[in-house]
Structures are given as C-alpha cells and as structure tokens.
C-alpha cells in the first residue's frame, strides 16, 4: 500500500528543462563565483554593507577584477558574493552566462558529448565557458600546476595513449607514447611511461592551443626549473619542442647502424630554419660527449680534438657544414644551393635572409649555467636570482682533464705551458657555458672562416634538463652585458632566445662513456666515433672536425678562388695555422674585448691552451 504522502514515479514524463534566468542566461552547473575564480585566481570578496530588518536583511558584496569593482546584493552573504561575481562576468565575459547561438543547450560538463567534434574543441569553436576553462587549464599546465594528461582528458575526454616505442636497452628516455587526434599523431618521450604520456599530452596542448602558449616558458618535471616569460627573450614553446624532437629523432636514426656507440650522457644538435616560426627545421650537425683530451695526447699538428663535449662537437660540425656550403660557390651551377650569398660589396659572404641556427642540448651547458640547485624552494618561485652577488655567480670555469664538472679559474693559472702539461699539470679547458658566451660575441664561424663570412650567431638555445632561465641568461650573455664595450662591427653581443622542452630528460647518475660521436649534414649518413681521451677517431685517424682538417678546408677555399672579406689569397695566406687566424684583426679584437669584459666584471681570466698547439704548418693532402 502506497503512502499518501509519497508521489508515484512517472518515468514516461520528459525531464524538466534547465531553468533560465529572467535575462535569458543559462544556469551553468558551475556557479558564477566558481567560474570567475577559475578565470582570475586570488580574488577577494568583501561584504561592503548590510541593511534591512533582521528577518529580511540585505547584504551588499563587492569584488575587484582588473582594477574595476563589481557589486551585488542579496538576502544572504554567499548569494551576494555570487551576484557580484555574476556582475563581473556579465561585464568582462558576457557570453559565458548567455546561451550559444542556435539555442542548443549543450552541457559541456559531461564526460563525453557526441554532439561536439574533437576538432571543434581544439579549434576553440565552443561556447565561451568551455573556451575559458580550456584557457585556464592550458595556462596551469604551462605553469606546472596541473598534470597535462589530466588537463587534456578534461578538454577532450576519452583519449587513448599508446606506447609506440620501448627501448629494451638502457637509455635516457626509453618510452615513447603517442595520442591520435583528428588523424594526427602527437608523441612524447620520457624515462617512465607516466612521463612519456605527460610529454605527449604537452605536445598536444602546445600544438593545438598555440595561441594560448606563445611566449610561455614550459615547466617540466623536477630537475628543470623554469620561470615566467621574458617576452622577446623567450623562444616559442612550439618551436622549442620542434627543435628538440628533430635532434632526438635524427640521433635515433643515425645510430641504428652503430648500436654499440648509441649510449650517451649528453646530446647536442644544431637545427637550421628558414622561416620566422622555426617550423621547417633541418638538422645540420649532431654531437655527443662529456670528456676532454688527456694532457699527454695534445698535438703540435692540430690532429686531436681538445674538447669532446656535445655542444662543442655540434658547433664544430656546423663549421664543417659552413665550409661545404662555401665550396658550392666554386661552381656557378651550385652557387644558388648554398646558404650563403655574396655580400653587396662583393667581398665575402653573408647568410641568406631568414636562415637561422638553433642549438639543442639535452642538459644545460656545464659551468656557470649549471651552478644552481634545482630544488631550491626560493628559486623555484620566481624569475629572480635571490643571491646574485654570491662569489660563484658568473665565474669563468674550466673543465677537468679526463673528468666531469668544472672549477673556477685562477688568474695565476691563466697561461698553460706545453712542458708543464707534459710533466703532469692538468690540461684545463674553458667550460661550455663560457664557450657559448664566447659564440654570442664573436660568432659560431671561428677565426679562419671570418676571412670569408660575416659573424653568424645562434638564434636560440633549447635545453632538455637542468634549465633555469635566470642562470642560463646570466651565463650566456648577462654577466658581461655591462662591461663589454668597443666591439668592432659587425660583431655584437647576441642575446639568444631560450626555452626548454615538453619531454625533459631524466637525470643520469651513471658514468659517462669515453666516446663521442659526430654527424654533419653534407657528409651524408657517415657517423664518426671519437675516443674523447685521445681526441682521435676510434680507428686512430685524425677527426674531420680537427684543426688540421679545417686548415686544409681553408686552403681548399683559397685554391677555388672563393671571394674573401679580408683580401687574403692563396699566394698571400700564411702557412702557419696561428698566423692565418691572427690575420682577421676584427675577430681578434672582438675576442680580446670579450676577455677584457670578463676580467673587468671580476669573473676571472680566460684560460689559454699552450701556444705550441696552434703553430703547425699547412700540409697539402696527399693524392
């Protein structure tokens, strides 16, 4: 028997439609206050006044948004705050509280919605509440506040992540995951499946919501600290991701035929682009390594590589690429294929318009850029160095022979002697941070090529781990910004763009291998393996990146009568390597001003190798 107080169920009746306010606005499942707090966090709501009789009070609440005060009144304090939030939304984002055109009531809070295409969601063809929520989620992901997988699944429910690759051998990022959206595959790699999924989700958010991510510093997992954008000094995240993906994928491809040497600790590569948004990149040079030559192996013939750190090797590979591109001008039929064009005055060459070079390093360069704790709480909160006057900040540092890490230079040790090194003194080499800072003054091309081309500077640097924007900016140009004066044109202080990636590399605790590999674009698929301790190929041959072979390339350009900027010819060129370098007076002066800038800033004296190693004589290649 039914109770007279209960109503019987009527399942045949249609559910009640959502109530509309008098102004036609839809009551969303989220309150106006919740929506406003998602759009503008940290807002303070105040009860300004209360009046009316005790049985029917009236409260006036207010909230300040972007400098404007909005108010609302109601019989309860909570409701008054809701009215104030609603007033703010109606002014700032009126479409959020009004129905979409067409009159269809779409509930975007459901886990799935068959009426909305994924492509529409990604192209922001959605009602404003969804768009506002998307903007908020993307922003939080970029700032490291929300897990990217969770955010992406909230924006586009039902996505499936697939494991595309799992390296059975020990590698840095063994897992590669992908997610397919609108028939396009987005990939990410990581040290674990969880990290790889997060990297793939970041790739989707970066590429599909590019308009929300421009000029944002990516915030990767631990060991990579990043900070708010500095505007024009920040490389766009899409470009940073593209550059890192190109280098990593290229390395995997070229090392398939050399699996015994694929293990590495640091990878670097240089990417060349020809458009403004850096999306058409081509890898021109790749290098790995973390070691320097042993003192007993230094050469008086320019036959060994002194420094086999990855970024140094990749830059030397780029120099070799420059030589091959200049040689194209020896034949009128191939001159148009070169990245260089003849200067307006007919003396030497310059880069063609819009050609840019970008350096990717899997970790921050050794030296000043890496002297920080990635877990300092105070540093993790803001883009400011709280201790800029610490003695360790900005110091010139040297690598340790046959080891890893760097130590500060000492003025008394600035000159190294050949006999001292032979007797057992450690051979010291400037840190990678210092060398990249040098490239930002004198260019990438080096002194010999300055006979032929104008200075060429890096456009950007992308760091895969241990990224700290403040420390990196200081290390690469900031520490001499106020003391560098007198540079001869066209030399300048290059303020390089920077960012990190959405697939950061995990910290490596194992011992680094003693080998270094290099690959250069115009050398085809050839991979050269170097014994970093001896500075020569593992076969015992002289490396193609050595001073000796670069000097041969220099003379080959002269024999082909390639126009020079300095007027040097085959007949007037000195046959001593050091003398040929010193004849480019503007380059020599620029380097001297850079060294003086470090000294004036109290950061130490630039360490020089024994002069004897550059006093070798050119010898023509045997036929």
As annotated, the active-site residues are 311
Distance between CA atoms of residues 22 and 93, nearest Å: 18
- Spatial contact of 113 and 106, defined as CB atoms under 8 Å apart: yes
B/e letters for 406-418, b = 16+ CB within 10 Å, e = fewer, are: bebbeeeebebee
Distance between CA atoms of residues 592 and 467, nearest Å: 30
Tokens 């959502």 correspond to 18
Which residues lie across from 406 on neighbouring strands? 399
335 vs 272, 323, 568, 570, CA distance in Å? 19, 13, 21, 21
Distance between CA atoms of residues 123 and 139, nearest Å: 17
Work out the number of other CB atoms within 10 angstroms of the CB of residue 435.
20
Distance between CA atoms of residues 581 and 450, nearest Å: 9
SS3 (DSSP) at 50: strand
Distance between CA atoms of residues 161 and 147, nearest Å: 15
Q: Which of 563, 567, 568 is nearest to 341 (CA)?
A: 563
- Spatial contact of 244 and 278, defined as CB atoms under 8 Å apart: no
User: Cβ-count burial of 443 within 10 angstroms (0-12 exposed, 13-18 middle, 19+ buried)?
Assistant: buried
Omega before 324 within 30 of 0, i.e. cis: no
> Which strands sit side by side in the sheet containing 429-430, from one edge to the other?
406-408, 397-399, 429-430
- Spatial contact of 277 and 504, defined as CB atoms under 8 Å apart: no
Distance between CA atoms of residues 558 and 444, nearest Å: 21
Distance between CA atoms of residues 261 and 513, nearest Å: 9
* Residue 250 C-beta-side C-alpha neighbours within 13 Å: 28
SS3 (DSSP) at 267: strand
Start-to-end Cα distance in the chain: 111
């Amino acid at each position: 028997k039914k109770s007279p107080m209960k109503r019987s169920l009527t399942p045949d009746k249609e559910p009640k439609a959502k109530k509309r306010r008098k102004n036609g606005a839809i009551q969303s499942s989220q309150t106006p206050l919740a929506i406003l707090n998602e759009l503008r966090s940290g807002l303070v709501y105040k009860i300004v006044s209360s009046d009316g009789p005790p049985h029917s009070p009236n409260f006036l609440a207010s909230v300040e948004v972007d400098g404007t005060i909005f108010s609302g009144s109601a019989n309860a304090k909570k409701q008054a705050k809701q009215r104030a939030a609603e007033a703010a939304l109606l002014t700032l984002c009126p479409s959020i509280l009004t129905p979409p055109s067409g009159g269809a009531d779409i509930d975007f809070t459901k886990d799935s919605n068959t009426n909305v295409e994924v492509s529409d969601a990604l192209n922001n063809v959605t009602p404003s509440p969804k768009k506002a929520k998307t903007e908020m989620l993307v922003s939080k992901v970029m700032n490291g506040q929300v897990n990217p997988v969770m955010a992406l699944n909230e924006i586009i429910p039902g996505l499936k992540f697939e494991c595309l690759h799992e390296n059975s051998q020990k590698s840095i990022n063994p897992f590669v995951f992908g997610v397919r959206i609108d028939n396009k595959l987005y990939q990410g790699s990581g040290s674990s499946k969880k990290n790889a999924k997060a990297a793939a989700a970041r790739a989707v958010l970066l590429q599909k919501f590019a308009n929300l991510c421009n000029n944002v510093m990516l915030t990767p997992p631990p060991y990579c600290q990043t900070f708010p954008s500095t505007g024009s000094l920040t490389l766009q995240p899409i470009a940073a991701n593209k550059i890192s993906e190109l280098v990593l994928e290229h390395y995997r491809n070229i090392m398939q035929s050399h699996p015994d040497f694929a293990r590495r600790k640091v990878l670097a590569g240089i990417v060349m682009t020809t458009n403004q948004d850096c999306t058409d990149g081509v890898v021109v040079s790749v290098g790995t390594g973390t070691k320097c030559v042993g003192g007993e192996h230094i050469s008086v013939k320019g036959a060994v590589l002194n420094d086999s750190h990855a970024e140094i090797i990749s830059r030397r590979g780029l120099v070799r690429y420059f030589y091959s591109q200049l040689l194209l001008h020896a034949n009128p039929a191939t001159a148009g294929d070169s990245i260089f064009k003849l200067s307006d005055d007919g003396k030497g060459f310059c880069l063609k318009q819009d050609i840019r070079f970008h350096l990717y390093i899997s970790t921050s360069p050794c030296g000043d850029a890496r002297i920080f704790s990635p877990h300092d709480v105070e540093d993790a909160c803001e883009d400011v160095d709280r201790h800029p006057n610490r003695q360790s900040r900005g110091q010139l540092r040297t690598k340790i022979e046959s080891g890893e890490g760097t130590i500060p230079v000492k003025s008394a040790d600035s000159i190294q002697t050949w006999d001292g090194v032979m007797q057992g003194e450690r051979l010291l080499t400037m840190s990678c941070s210092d060398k990249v800072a040098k490239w930002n003054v004198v260019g990438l091309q080096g002194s010999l090529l300055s006979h032929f081309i104008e200075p060429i500077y890096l456009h950007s640097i992308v760091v895969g781990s241990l990224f700290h924007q403040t420390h990196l900016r200081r290390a690469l140009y900031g520490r001499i910004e106020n003391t560098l004066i007198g540079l001869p044109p066209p030399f300048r202080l290059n303020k390089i763009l920077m960012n990190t990636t959405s697939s950061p590399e995990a910290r490596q605790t194992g011992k680094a291998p003693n080998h270094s590999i290099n690959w250069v674009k115009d050398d085809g698929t050839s991979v050269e393996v170097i014994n970093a301790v001896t500075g020569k190929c593992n076969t015992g041959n002289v490396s193609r990146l050595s001073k000796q072979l670069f000097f041969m390339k220099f003379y080959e350009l002269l024999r082909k009568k390639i126009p020079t900027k300095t007027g040097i010819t085959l007949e007037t060129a000195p046959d001593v390597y050091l003398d040929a370098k010193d004849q480019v007076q503007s380059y020599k002066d620029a380097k001297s001003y850079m060294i003086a800038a470090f000294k004036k800033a109290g950061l130490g004296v630039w360490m020089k190798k024994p002069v004897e190693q550059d006093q070798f004589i050119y010898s023509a290649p045997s036929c």
